[in-house]
Chain A
């Protein structure tokens, strides 16, 4: 099978489109490249959607943690503690088991071995269930970053805003929030990269790959097991992740420049990749 055939057959396999079965007999490099690449769709989906939702939730949690009201700051701190203090791997298992139990409490019909729950069954699918876990997880890590930036917003800027008579909402929208983002951005970039890496855990924890629709690592490990040769499939998946990482760095670097566009070109700190945050 040449590469174009492999591409047309397996190019969208990770979405359930194309050849029904995975290649079995002789597995060429093309099939591996195409299928593992096709699996990256899931990694990108999980990263992008989780980051998008996580951004908003993290801002709220960070503000909550900074609140003087213990009824607000307490739950925020507990949320951050639980999701940062435990392994993502365990969180996936825990939430999967919890999602499996939802139908029982939602009053759905349980036929012994088959659970009839049209709505709640979606929670046990990776695209929703795992996504919820990832959103909560990244929110906790991001909230910690944002909170650190929030308390470091220069006092003078806030006083200046007060002096010209800005209301609370204006102050937050125009001064506090943008400055917080500017300070947090380098760390937030790292968070995005590690979020991308963490998505590789989804199909390795408990969320089953439905109809062989898995992510890049799912296919890579399938090939490594089939061919007894880890020296092809894993370097391929590593290569794809390096590309993905470079893409994230480019996008976040552009955002960083946009955030700091009022500063002199030379004075903007370049985003440095420091692996500090991981699940």
Chain B
């Protein structure tokens, strides 16, 4: 805004109006969108991976069953943050290694040289000439994949339990009228699974919400990044000098998350009631 050009002469109300609409503040508001976008994109992917994992676990093919078992039990003993740190780097290096092999076949030097990971310039992901936005999107996608893999394992655990809780008689009835295995699964087993898995899945959703600040560790400019950035003390060299306001910014984040989990809880309570309809228990 025009009158924001010289903040030092502004009155209190105008100062705050100007301060809260600086480009960096706008980036802070947008980062809430980043968090919500991650939640919205991750949830369906997690469900799909969860169903796949649960299916693999009860598969008749032994190798598939082992994969399913290893995958679903991976969250049990190890903190999720270890996976969050590991998966993005591992994926990044894998992609770069594959591209290195494909794009620069004439480079024969090993990729790992002592303490370095060297790929040719053309194999870098994203390319060093790419605009900043590409780097941001790539970082976000890596984070999304990490979230999907970690929480997919949780979801697979829950869905496996839900599938096991569907009464056998329901499935036998399907078989009795001549449904194929896949028909029984699609029309009877899966639709009834939700009722049993919903409490666990709502729990998982809460966990997912509360894991989103970890985006900060993955290098995504999320709410935590901007809260630290904007809340730090600003000297008179800046247009809007202020003291250390990080406490205030983090209280705002706390309220945002409390609101998010509170609304989710209410939503799930209603959903639960709907799914419980028609069940005698």
Contact = CB atoms under 8 A, between A and B. Distances in A.
A85 B209 CA distance: 9
B85 A221 contact: yes
A219 interface: no
A271 interface: no
A97 B224 contact: no
Interface string A251-279: 00000000000000000000001111011
Nearest to A279: B210
Given A197-B81, A201-B79, 4 more contacts: A88-B210, A93-B227, A228-B116, A238-B78
Given A97-B250, A229-B112, A278-B207, A217 B212 contact: no
Interface stretch (A54-62, A155-163, A240-248): A240-248
A77 to B, nearest CB: 12
Nearest to B200: A276
Which 5 residue pairs are nearest across A and B when measured between Cβ atoms?
A197-B79, A242-B77, A87-B210, A228-B117, A234-B86
Interface residues of B, number: 46
Contact of B253 (A90, A224, A227, A275): A90
Interface of B is mostly: helix
B203 interface: yes
B250 A90 contact: yes
A70 to B, nearest CB: 20
Contacts of A87: 209-213, 257
Interface of B: 75-82, 85-86, 89-90, 93, 112, 114-117, 154, 157, 200, 203, 207, 209-214, 216-217, 224, 227-228, 231, 244, 246-247, 250-251, 253-254, 257-258, 261-262
Contacts of A245: 76-78
A119 interface: no
Interface in A51-83: 81-82
Contacts of A198: 79
